[in-house]
C-alpha cells in the first residue's frame, strides 16, 4: 500500500456534484493498493495513519496523533500512486491491484480506522472525484508498505 497523507484544516471530496466525504481538522489520505497487498499491509497502514505524531500539542510541539488530536480522516482511493513512469510518456499502472481487490482493501482500511475510534469519511472508489483541501503546515507525508519491517530469511 502506498499513501500520501496531508494534515488538513479541512478537506472535501465530491462526485458528480455530491459531497461523498468532508472533514475539518484531520488527515487527507490518498490511498493506493498494490498487487499482492493484503491484511499485513492494511494493519501496518492503519497503525501508521492512526498513530503518526504530526499534530501539535499544548506547547506547539508536533507530538500528537490524529487519534490524540481528535481529528478525522478523509480517504481518497487513488490507484495512480502506483504509476510507473520510467519508460515513455504514458504511465503504466501494472503494479496497482485489480479494482475488485483494491476496493476491498480500501474498505478494510476505512473499517479498521473506524474500529480504532477515528472518524472516517471517504471518496467513491472508481469514480471521478474532485478533492478540495486546505493543507495545514503544510505537512505532507509519504508512506509505503514496502517499508514494513519483515523477518529476515536465512
Please state the domain extents for the chain: 2-143
Per-residue pLDDT band at 119 (split at 50, 70, 90): very high
Strand bridging mode 120-122 / 72-77: parallel
What is the pLDDT averaged over residues 58-74? 94
The fold of 2-143 is: 3.50.80
Share of the chain above pLDDT 70, in %: 96
Residue 72 C-alpha from the chain's centroid: 12
* Structure-block grid coordinates of residue 45: 497502514
Q: Which residues are catalytic?
A: 78-80
Grade residue 108 by pLDDT with cuts at 50, 70 and 90: very high
Query: What per-residue confidence (pLDDT) applies to 77?
Result: 98
Please say if the pLDDT value at position 140 is more than 80.
yes
User: How sure is the predictor about 146, in pLDDT bands with cuts at 50, 70 and 90?
Assistant: confident
- Inter-CA distances, 123 with 36, 53, 84, 88, Å: 23, 24, 24, 31
Indicate the pTM of the whole model.
Answer: 0.93
pLDDT at 150: 58
Residues 132, 12: contact at Cβ < 8 Å?
yes
Please tell me whether the peptide bond between 138 and the residue prior to it is cis, using omega within 30 degrees of 0.
yes
Average of per-residue pLDDT across 53-68: 93
Q: What is the DSSP string of the chain?
A: -EEEEEEEEEEEEEETTEEEEEESSEEEEEEE-BTT--HHHHHHHHHHHHH---EE-TTS-EEE-HHHHT-EEEEEE-GGGG-B-SSSSSPB-TTBPPHHHHHHHHHHHHHHHHHTT--EEE--TTS--EEEEEEEEEEEEEEEGGG---PPP-
In this prediction, residue 60 has a pLDDT band, given cuts at 50, 70 and 90, of: confident
Mean per-residue pLDDT for 96-104?
97
Region 61-82: mean pLDDT is 96
Amino acid at each position: 500500500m502506498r499513501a500520501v497523507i496531508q494534515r488538513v484544516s479541512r478537506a472535501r471530496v465530491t462526485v458528480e456534484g455530491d459531497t461523498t466525504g468532508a472533514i475539518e481538522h484531520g488527515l487527507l489520505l490518498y490511498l493506493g493498493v498494490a498487487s499482492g497487498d493484503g491484511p499485513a499491509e492494511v494493519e501496518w497502514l492503519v497503525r501508521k495513519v492512526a498513530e503518526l505524531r504530526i499534530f501539535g500539542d499544548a506547547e506547539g510541539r508536533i507530538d500528537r496523533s490524529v487519534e490524540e488530536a481528535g481529528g478525522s480522516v478523509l480517504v481518497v482511493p487513488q490507484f495512480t500512486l502506483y504509476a510507473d513512469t520510467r519508460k515513455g510518456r504514458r504511465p503504466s499502472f501494472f503494479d496497482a491491484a485489480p479494482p475488485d481487490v483494491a476496493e476491498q482493501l480500501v474498505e478494510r482500511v476505512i473499517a479498521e480506522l473506524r474500529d480504532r475510534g477515528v472518524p472516517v469519511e471517504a471518496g467513491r472508489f472508481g469514480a471521478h472525484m474532485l478533492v478540495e483541501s486546505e493543507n495545514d503546515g503544510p505537512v505532507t507525508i509519504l508512506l509505503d508498505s514496502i517499508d514494513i519491517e519483515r523477518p529476515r530469511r536465512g
